[in-house]
Chain A
Amino acid sequence: MKRRSFLNWGTAGLVALWSAIGVSLGAVVRFLTPSVFYEPPQTFKIGDPADFSFGPPTFLAEEKIFVFRDREKGFAVASAVCTHLGCTVGYFQSDERFHCPCHGSVFSADGAVLHGPAPRPLEWFEVTLARDGQLRVDKDHAVPASYRLMV
């Protein structure tokens, strides 16, 4: 067996092998990426639009969101999770601002940081109307603070 053809077959074999290894590495990463989450879902329904009052936002504790309803413009959903280190902020009707109890961050009514260590404004989530007439919030889709859903 000539050395060159030995090397050619051998090299070709190694190429195939390294390709298989490459595919395997990709497969490993995909394997480790979870396909389902044992957590509350990121997209969920919050109920009928009629159940939500105008004026101060409705706080949903389990989902950690505020649901705003404006007579003219409609629905908006803000995250209640402070962008600093993750504590749950509270909304105060008296000054129409969000206050975080942990390190004192203050956010305006549209989520902008007014003072405190928070680096980013509060997130707003996409809210849409599902086919059965319920409001659906999608935490995987962030929207600008001006987003509104008119119902």
Chain B
Amino acid sequence: MDRRLPQFFFALSLIVLALMLAAVWQAGTPAWKNYQQEFHRLEAVGEPNAAAKSDVLNAALVIRQDLLPGLQRVDRCTTCHLGVEDPTMKNAPQPFAFHANLAPHVPAKFGCTVCHGGQGLATDKLNAHGRVPFWQEPLLPKEYIRASCGRCHKEGEVPGVPELTDGRRLFETQGCRGCHKLNGVGGTIGPDLTEEGAIRRFPQWLEQHFLDPNIVSRNSPMPNFHFTKEQARALTFYMLSLTSEQMGTYYSSVRLIPSAGYGRQLFVEKNCIACHNVGGVGSKSGPDLSGVTKQHSPGWLDEQLVNPQLIYPGSIMPAYDLETNARKAIITFMASATAEDAQSILSQRTRPLTPQDAAIEAGKQSFARFGCVGCHGLQLQGGVPNPNSQGGEVPSLLHASDDYTKEEVTKIIQNGKVPPVENPAKPAAPLYMPPWKGVLADEDINRIADYLWSLQKKKDAW
């Protein structure tokens, strides 16, 4: 038999043992552990007493991750970037430095990669920063990070990022859609840009491309628009924001930035001027809103917007179904709104404000809230089938004034009405107007009638 066999066997066993230990060593000494230990040392410097110091130095070394199902990502950046939310680390060296102006985009809710790019799943520097083959979203260079705001905040202005608005405007005015499709509209000569922000996150390439397409894309049919550096950058920002981010409901609800501008937009949309005035300009039915943010806390104002009747039980202010950020935006607008703003809002109306507008607005909200729209329609068009009633359907209310007076309509709302039957032999019509007396106060019913009357169409009116 082979004399050296047992020695060979022994040597191999040792080799296998050594390889096993090497693999275990390789798995047990990832770089992030060293970073965490160094951070603990930095933290310990600031600790006052020996017990706290030793607690910090002996803290467990664990992978930290932010689980973000609503953004469909998992970010492990804070495994090494431990000082991101720690103001005492303002002057610490990277990767431990403090991240200023983070709120409200805290890592626990937003992670890091949605703004910065990179590979959140990775736990070593090279892979995490995404500058590796087969990762299409590398870390964005500093000057382009603000472009990521546009990935979520797609409407309106984004404070601090004028490039996004400029880029969007350039896109619309320079005829880009002639060759490029965006969101289904545009030409097919160039590539579809709807997901450009997702598939080509290489800002230097994009910017070069806008300055001279042929440099980066040889024989490109795209003409050279001779954009300035600022224009090229603005367009690059806009490109980087073009993604159809699928976001969970939390993110969709806070997507709209609660800026004063957005608040003004909502103020006009919801027709607040119909009841309120600012510094005397507007309707006198409701209170003057100027200075309201100085008299009441933000929480109080928010509650007022959510449930007006809670604070003022007799209030005719409707409960608008507004998202958190929408309410915040209105309150922000309130903080700076002046009589001039109210004047400009008034002047933009298509028809002038009348004293009845408050009542009409309240009537409109009641009409919606109490379900009248279910049968009579949002545009009062009726049309819901009602078999065996005369006419066969719920009537339109747009011509009610031809057949009834306002008082008669008020009576119908109070007492209800069963529609006359077409064929007495068949079963009665299933839908009828219920009586609202007792459910709605008389004033509410009057305001509904006011609202109906404000929308009446005369047969010969065109």
Contact = CB atoms under 8 A, between A and B. Distances in A.
Given A20-B16, A20-B17, A44-B108, A10 B9 contact: yes
Chain A interface helix/strand/loop/mixed:
helix
A7 B24 CA distance: 30
B37 to A, nearest CB: 17
Interface in B64-95: 65, 67, 76, 85-89
A36 B63 contact: yes
Nearest to B4: A1
A93 interface: no
Given A27-B20, A131-B86, A131-B87, A13 B9 contact: yes
Contacts of B6: 1, 5-10, 13
Contacts of A10: 6, 9-10
B86 A13 contact: no
DSSP class of B's interface residues: helix, strand, loop or mixed?
helix
B49 interface: no
Nearest to B69: A38
A17 B16 contact: yes
Interface residues on B, range: 20 to 34
A127 B91 CA distance: 27
Interface residues of A, number: 29
A132 interface: yes
A51 B264 CA distance: 28
A35 interface: yes
A29 interface: no
Contacts of A9: 6-7, 9-10
Contact of B13 (A13, A23, A131): A13
Interface in B17-54: 17, 20-21, 23-24, 27
A130 B85 contact: yes
A36 B10 contact: no
Interface in A1-45: 1, 5-10, 12-17, 19-20, 23-24, 27, 35-36, 38-41, 44-45
A17 B14 CA distance: 7
B10 A12 contact: yes
B108 A45 contact: yes
Contacts of A23: 17, 20-21, 24
A8 B67 CA distance: 55
B425 interface: no
Interface of B: 1, 3, 6-7, 9-10, 12-14, 16-17, 20-21, 23-24, 27, 62-63, 65, 67, 76, 85-89, 106, 108
Interface of A: 1, 5-10, 12-17, 19-20, 23-24, 27, 35-36, 38-41, 44-45, 130-132
Given A1-B3, A13-B9, A131-B86, 11 more contacts: A1-B1, A9-B9, A13-B10, A13-B14, A16-B13, A20-B17, A23-B21, A23-B24, A27-B24, A35-B62, A41-B108
